[in-house]
A = this chain, B = another copy of it.
Amino acid sequence: MRATNGAGKNLGADRQAVEVPREWYNIVPDLPSPLPPAIDPVTRRPVDEAKLRRLFVGEVARHEFAGERFIPIPEEVRSVYSIWRPTPLVRALRLENALGTPAKIYYKNETVSPPGSHKANAAVPQAYFAKREGIRRLVGNTTAGQWGCALAFACSVFDVKSTIYMSRSSYDSKPYRRELAEAWGAEVIPSPSERTAVGRSALAKDPRDMGTLSLAVGESQEDAMGDPTARSAVGSVFNFVLANQTVMGQEAVAQIERLDEYPDSVIGCIGGGSNFSGLFWPFYHEVTAGKSLKEVEFIAAESTAAPRMTRGEYMYDHVDAAGRSSLTKMYSLGHTYVPPDIHSAGLRTHASAATLSLLVQHGVVRPVAYNQLDVFEAGTLFARTEGILPAPESAHAVKAVIDEAKKCKESGEEKVILFNLCGHGLLDIESYRAYLSREMTPGDAAPGAIERAVAEAKALHPWLQQTGA
Residues of A within 8 A of B (CB): 7-8, 10-13, 15-20, 75, 78-84, 86, 88, 90, 93-94, 109, 112, 114-116, 120, 153-154, 156-157, 176, 179-180, 182-185, 380, 383-389, 426-427, 429-430, 432-433, 436
Number of copies: 2
Q: Looking across the interface, which residue of chain B has its beta carbon closest to that of A429? A: B179
On chain B, the residues within 8 Å of A427 by CB distance are 176, 426-427
B residues in contact with A16, CB < 8 Å: 15-18
Report which of B83, B153, B386 forms a contact with A83, defined as CB distance below 8 A: B386
Residues of B within 8 A of A185 (CB): 384
CB pair B153–A12 under 8 Å, yes or no, is no
Cβ-defined partner of A82 (8 Å) among B11, B80, B81: B11
Can you list 6 pairs linking A and B with CB atoms under 8 Å apart? Answer: A15-B16, A16-B18, A83-B90, A176-B426, A176-B427, A185-B384
Tell me whether B75 and A84 are in contact (CB under 8 A): no
Least distance between A196 CB and chain B CB atoms (Å)? 25
Complex contacts, A383 vs chain B, CB 8 Å: 156, 183-184
Beyond contacts A83-B386, A179-B430, A184-B387: 8 other A-B pairs, Cβ-Cβ < 8 A, are A10-B79, A116-B426, A154-B387, A156-B384, A176-B176, A176-B430, A182-B436, A426-B426
Q: Is the CB of B433 within 8 A of A380?
A: no
Is there contact, CB below 8 Å, between B179 and A11? no
| In the complex, chain B residues whose CB is within 8 Å of the CB of A436 | 182-183
CB of A389 within 8 A of CB of B183, answer yes
On chain B, the residues within 8 Å of A183 by CB distance are 380, 383, 389, 429, 432-433, 436
- What residues of chain B lie closer than 8 Å to A380, measured between beta carbons? 183
Given contacts A90-B82, A433-B179, contact A384 B19 (CB under 8 A): no
Q: Which residue of B is nearest A180, CB measured?
A: B429
Which residues in B have their C-beta under 8 angstroms from that of A426? 116, 176, 180, 426-427
- B15 near A17: Cβ-Cβ < 8 Å: no
Taking CB atoms, residues of chain B closer than 8 Å to A13 are: 82-83
Name which residue of chain B comes closest to A181, CB basis: B429
- Tell which of B7, B19, B179, B387 touches A156, judged by Cβ atoms closer than 8 Å: B387
Residue of B nearest to A435 (CB): B183
Q: Which residues of B contact A153 (CB under 8 A)?
A: 387
* Chain B hits for A176, CB < 8 A: 176, 426-427, 429-430
Alpha-carbon distance A156/B382, docked complex (angstroms): 10
Cβ contacts under 8 Å, A386 to chain B: 83, 114, 157
Cβ-defined partner of A20 (8 Å) among B7, B86, B90? B7
| Contact across chains for A114 and B11 when beta carbons are under 8 A apart | no
A112 to B80, CA, bound (A): 16
B residues near A18, Cβ cutoff 8 Å:
16
CA separation between A116 and B80, bound complex, in Å? 20
Q: Are A432 and B179 in contact (CB under 8 A)?
A: yes
Within the complex, what minimum Cβ distance (angstroms) separates A75 from chain B? 7
Residues of chain B with a CB closer than 8 A to A7's CB: 19-20
Query: In whole angstroms, how far apart are the Cα atoms of A380 and B93 in the complex?
Result: 38
Residues of B within 8 A of A12 (CB): 79, 82
Complex Cα distance, B80 from A94, in Å, reads 9
CB-based contact B433/A182 at 8 Å? yes
Let me know if A114 and B388 touch, CB within 8 A: yes
**Cβ of A114: which chain B residues have Cβ within 8 Å of it?**
386-389
Q: Please give me the residue from chain B that is nearest to A124 by CB atom.
A: B387
Chain B residues positioned under 8 Å from A120 (CB to CB): 387
CB-CB under 8 A from A79, the residues of chain B are 10-12, 93
A80 touches B432 (CB 8 A): no
- Residues A387 and B182 in contact, CB atoms below 8 Å apart: no
Contact B389 A10 (CB under 8 A): no
Compute how far the CA of A385 lies from the CA of B79 in the bound complex, rounded to whole angstroms: 13
CB-CB under 8 A from A11, the residues of chain B are 20, 78-79, 81-82
Q: Give the residue name and chain of the B residue nearest to A85 (CB).
A: B13
Complex: A153 Cα to B426 Cα, angstroms: 13
A87 and chain B: residue at smallest CB distance: B112
